[in-house]
Chain A
Amino acid sequence: EIVMTQSPATLSVSPGERATLSCRASQTVYSNLAWYQQKPGQAPRLLVYGAFNRATGVPPRFSGSGSGTDFTLTISSLQSEDSAVYYCQQYDRWPLTFGGGTKAEIK
């Protein structure tokens, strides 16, 4: 099983500042990596797939990068509505696995 490790566990950023979230895979997943956003009481929402492709309707301030084992989700200018937990997911091999999540808080 591919283990996905996210860091930091919690991120506190002022509005308008850049937020950088990291995800590391225990073995290569090539570019088969997705990012999701989950707000309290809501289902997850797909943000990025294929490591860097934004899903439909996702604002351009969200961008994904990386390949192989190291990936990054960057929120270029954090807005109050971006307060959420962010998960990465690999889909290169079965079983599909998620990281433990990064909670992004607004300072």
Chain B
Amino acid sequence: EVQLLESGGKLVQPGGSLRLSCVASGYTFTNYAMAWVRQSPGKGLEWVSSISGSGDRISYADSVKGRFSISSDTSKNTLYLQMNNLRAEDTATYYCAKKILGSNPFDDWGQGTLVTVSS
């Protein structure tokens, strides 16, 4: 059974930094691309960033480009999202999601971790 467990979300001040983690289990981590998707309170879904299973292909939404950095540690089966220069509009539940083999839909999701950016 695939399991994705996010952690690291908390209250942070504007301009601050935070690193989210997502530990994956139940499948071969390097075979599947992964992504971060966020959801502001009461709002819809927004794709944030994706990384290939090998880690050599990365994409970002324009809203986070230059501030967020996605990475993975294959020895720990863990996906990361380093978030710098946080803004109030980054407040959201952040989900890690596993992509379908060879494609972009997300077939497994974590439970989410809440990031609140406020002074």
A87/B45 in contact, CB under 8 A: yes
- B107 within 8 Å of A by Cβ? yes
Task: Tell me which of A43, A95, A98 contacts B109 (CB under 8 A).
Answer: A43
Contact in complex: A99, B106 (CB < 8 Å): no
Selected contact of B59 from candidates A46, A50, A89, A95, CB within 8 Å? A95
| Assembly CA distance A89 to B59 (angstroms) | 17
| A57, chain B: closest CB distance, angstroms | 10
Which chain B positions have C-beta within 8 A of A36? 45, 106
Q: Measured between alpha carbons, how far is A49 from B103 in the docked complex, in Å?
A: 10
- B41 at the A interface (CB under 8 A): no
A49/B105 contact (C-beta < 8 A), A43-B110, A43-B111, A94-B59 known: yes
User: Is the beta-carbon distance between A46 and B107 smaller than 8 angstroms?
Assistant: yes
- The distance in angstroms between the C-alpha atoms of A51 and B106, with both chains bound, is 14
B interface bracket (residues with beta carbon within 8 Å of A): 20 to 34
A34 touches B (CB below 8 Å): yes
A43 / chain B contacts, CB cutoff of 8 Å:
95, 109-112
- Name the residue on A nearest B61 (C-beta): A95
- Taking a contact as CB atoms under 8 Å apart, the answer to whether B107 and A96 are in contact is no
State how many angstroms separate the Cβ of B45 from the closest Cβ of chain A: 4
- Residues of A within 8 Å of B95, CB to CB, are 43-44
B63 to chain A, nearest CB (A): 9
A87 x B109 contact (CB < 8 A):
no
Query: In the bound complex, do residue B44 and residue A100 qualify as a contact, i.e. CB atoms below 8 Å apart?
Result: yes
Q: Is B73 an interface residue (CB 8 A)?
A: no
A91, B59: Cβ atoms under 8 Å? no
Contact (A97, B105) CB under 8 Å given A43-B110, A43-B112: no
Is A32 close to B, CB under 8 A?
A: yes
- Which chain B residue has the least Cβ–Cβ distance from A100? B44
Contact A87 B44 (CB under 8 A): yes
A-B contact pairs, 6 of them (CB 8 A): A34-B105, A46-B107, A95-B47, A96-B47, A98-B45, A101-B45
Q: Chain A interface (Cβ within 8 Å of chain B)?
A: 32, 34, 36, 38, 43-46, 49-50, 55-56, 87, 89, 91, 94-101
